[in-house]
Amino acid sequence: MDLTTNYIKHVKSKKHPVNNFFLNYFSKTVVKEAKKLRPRTVLDVGCGEGFILANLKQNKVGKEHEGIEYVDKAIKLAKQLYPTLKILKGNIYKLPYQDNSFDLVLCTEVLEHLDYPERALKELLRVTKKHLLLTVPNEPYFTIQRVLRGKNILELGDHPEHIQHWSSRSFKKFVQKQAIVKKIKRPLPWTLIIARKY
């Protein structure tokens, strides 16, 4: 099976107790905060292999669930792991939906990988009619925990696929340029923001 780095992080690295603790805490926080919003329709943009989307469905967060993913390898893995999930190929800069299509739009662990996160945020806001749930690594804590786990030591813990680097404060400022920040949580080493349109 041709694996993605995200698959390895969620499945293969579960044997590492520290990694497992952080991922479980992160996942529980996302589900808890999403459930409070009581959405009926949920879209996960950049859903990868479907781990978050499947968790939301399993915990009865929403009635209708859909995912968008750009990487073919991740979509193939998602269909093997969660054959009942609706996951489509798509581009975060041009989502195949009308305005105000979903009660809740999630975008977790995606924006830090993008050259144009402002454009992506604008598109996410376009397709939600109520809320956005966004997460990114909280720097410098994310990098520090990677060093402590022995990851990318020569790069001082910097993730090779991350283009953008935000602290909780700077990510809040980034989101506030286009949306109203309703809540900010810090499930170490990440930042989670709930936002809505102006």
> Is residue 115 predicted with pLDDT exceeding 90?
yes
Q: What is the pLDDT of residues 35-94, one digit of tens each?
A: 999 999 999 999 999 999 999 999 999 999 999 999 999 999 999 999 999 999 999 999
Half-sphere exposure (Cβ direction) of 145: Cα atoms closer than 13 Å: 15
Measured CA to CA, the distance from residue 127 to residue 24 in angstroms comes to 28
CB within 8 Å of 152: residues ≥ 6 apart: 146, 158, 159, 160
The conformation of residue 156, written as its DSSP 8-state character, comes to T
CB within 8 Å of 84: residues ≥ 6 apart: none
Q: What is the pLDDT of residues 151-160, one digit of tens each?
A: 544 444 456 6
Measured CA to CA, the distance from residue 109 to residue 47 in angstroms comes to 9
pLDDT at 157: 42
Tokens found for residue 195: 């936002």
- Pick 5-197's CATH classification: 3.40.605.10, 3.30.70.270, 3.40.50.150, 3.40.50.300: 3.40.50.150
pLDDT at 150: 59
Element (H, E) at 106: strand 102-108
